[in-house]
Chain A
Amino acid sequence: MANQAEVTKLVSRLKIPILAKHRRLRNPEGPQGRVKKIRAIVTALFKYERIEVYHYDGDEARGYAERLISDAIRHGDTHKETMEMADYWIEEKNLVHKLFKVLVPRFQNTSSSYTRMLNAPIPHATPEDSHPHFRSVIELRGNPFPPLIQSAVDNRLLIQNVLLEEAKKEYRAAKYAEIAQDLESRANEKSDASSETREDTAEDESQPK
């Protein structure tokens, strides 16, 4: 066991969730058709950087794209196996060049996944197509297109939030004042009581004399 290489170190660990078992992606051409479809999607993703595809096909192909980029970063363009893989999965050969010369520098220092997958709107069911397929948008990070999701806006400055914030502050101030008063009155009571008892004892002492 000690001499055996650890399998997890042989392949790159991808930063996206991968299913335990591959999807078969039913296809009239059989397994060969599945591979063909994935090659087309991977090629399109590298070419256009943002594509909309059927969810299951896209999710399957995404792993292949991630693995290609990851290997390219790990081994560089002089590694024979990596080059063969890229050559196989990327149909247009100028995109192999893009993978090593454009995408590798882009993703070299990223800590997140290289691609992003978002759910596309589900089309309305029509009489012709009563079971619309789920679609997804896959994109390479750092693409030049406008963002799909608006960056979170700091909305503390919107008028209603300004008003609510001030109301909150005022409420808190009132509460703190209340608590402080409460504590004070309690402390007073206590000191009154203790002084009374002290007086009592003083009287007791004086009486026997």
Chain B
Amino acid sequence: MKFNLCCKVLKSSLNRLSIRQLSSSIQNQNDLFNAELKRQQNAVGRIEKINVVYKGVPEDAELIMNKNLSTPYNCAQHLSEMLCNRSVLALVDGVKLWDMHRPLESDCEVQLLHFHDTDPYHCNRTFWRSCSIMLGSVLSRVFKEDVQVALHSFPSPTVKSGSFVYDVELSLPDWNPTPAELRVLSGEMVKLAYEEIPFERLSIGQDLAEELFQHNRHKLEQIPSIVQQSLDGKVIVYRIKDHIDISRGPMMSNTNHFGRCTIVSAHKIETDVGLLYRFQGVALPKAMQLNHFAYGIIEERAKKLNSGRLPTIQGEYQPAMTSREEIAAPV
């Protein structure tokens, strides 16, 4: 393949990546995640029923679901396949954004959001955030073994900035990605979308979080401040396939919402924590179609260094969410 010749740093061809071996640390991380997930599911105990009122198309409905087990996605399964496929995010009681795969906790009213809503602000933001975490997942495994990769974080997503971002520490002092290497990254992102992987959400305690991220010093440093900021002293982690990352969420329901993607640049940024690479990309949901000329304009703009907050040492992982972000504005 052509990629073999030009990718000095990345695992050469696109094909070889798919049959990669799980490294022991990733395996260990996943075991911990699975154990915690199982523990939480078992902790539900006796199954109680809750009344879920669905508002929206094709018609309003009232569903009786299982407390702490049923998710908005399960509600959608009762209603329509169309809803299962297109829903990105749920809006609980008209104020809380809720992941599609997060169990509902009490009687509530659910609305399902998608990219073609009249005001898709929250869907777009969620999409951008999910793109960042997917980029992190790709970056953590796409480099050759001799390159040390330590994911740092990503600033809170703003679609208007023109690109989604992940800040990463690489053991490469001076690396300028070639267009072919960027194309490999883009291809990996799209492959992740083809695999149709649901985003798994888990809320865990500080001890477990530190155990999960013991191999990543940046994340370890961030965990105490995250715990401090959160209301219940928990850390929220997400898993895509075998990649686990910290984010307050919410994330979109599945990687298959992801359509077209280009990773456009990796800027070197000097920060308090050392030299980081700011990977930037632009993507569109599968539901959106755009001609190549317009997409080219967006791509071109995304190459400029994103003005998102630079990582700092004492700086919190993500700025505390403003009310607009956590609570959906009534449309």
Contact = CB atoms under 8 A, between A and B. Distances in A.
Contacts of A166: 160-162, 301
Given A157-B120, A159-B120, A164 B294 contact: yes
Interface string A123-157: 00000000000000000000000000000011001
Contact of B285 (A154, A159, A170): A159
Contact of B115 (A159, A163, A164): A159
B121 A163 contact: no
A164 B298 contact: yes
Given A154-B118, A157-B119, A157-B120, A162 B301 contact: no
Contact of A167 (B121, B284, B297): B297
Contacts of A164: 294, 297-298
Contacts of A111: none
Quick one: which of A162, A163, A166 has the most chain B CB within 10 A?
A163
B162 A167 contact: yes
A158 B116 contact: yes
B162 A159 contact: no
A162 to B, nearest CB: 5
A8 interface: no
A164 B284 CA distance: 12
A114 to B, nearest CB: 30
Contact of B298 (A153, A157, A163): A163
B213 interface: no
Contacts of A167: 162, 297-298, 300-301
Q: Which of A157, A160, A164, A167 has the largest number of chain B CB atoms within 10 A?
A: A160
B288 interface: yes
Interface residues of A, number: 12
Interface in B110-166: 115-116, 118-121, 123-124, 127, 159-162
A120 B151 CA distance: 57
A166 B302 CA distance: 11
B282 interface: yes
B294 A159 contact: no
A164 B298 CA distance: 6
A153 B290 CA distance: 17
Given A167-B297, A170-B301, A160 B162 contact: no
B296 to A, nearest CB: 10
Contacts of A170: 162, 301
A75 B290 CA distance: 55
Contacts of A157: 118-121, 124
Contact of A158 (B120, B162, B297): B120
Contact of A163 (B118, B119, B123, B159): B159
B301 A159 contact: no
Interface in B280-298: 282, 284-285, 288, 290, 294, 297-298
A93 B282 CA distance: 65
Interface string A155-186: 00111101110110010000000000000000
Contact of A160 (B118, B161, B298, B301): B298
A158 B115 CA distance: 7
Nearest to A164: B294
Interface string B34-55: 0000000000000000000000
Contacts of B162: 163, 166-167, 170
Contacts of A154: 118
B29 to A, nearest CB: 32
A160 B294 contact: yes
Given A166-B162, A167-B162, A167-B297, A160 B290 contact: yes
B265 to A, nearest CB: 16
Contacts of A162: 124, 159-160
Contacts of A159: 115, 120, 123-124, 127, 159, 284-285, 288
B96 to A, nearest CB: 21
B167 to A, nearest CB: 21
A171 to B, nearest CB: 8
A96 B301 CA distance: 65
Contacts of B118: 153-154, 157
Contacts of A158: 115-116, 120, 288
11 contacts: A153-B116, A157-B124, A158-B288, A159-B115, A159-B124, A159-B159, A160-B294, A160-B298, A163-B301, A167-B298, A167-B300
Given A159-B159, A163-B298, A166-B161, 13 more contacts: A153-B116, A157-B119, A157-B121, A158-B288, A159-B127, A160-B288, A160-B294, A162-B159, A162-B160, A163-B159, A166-B160, A166-B162, A167-B162
Q: What are the 4 tightest A-B residue pairs by CB atom distance, in nearest-first order? A: A159-B124, A167-B301, A163-B298, A160-B290
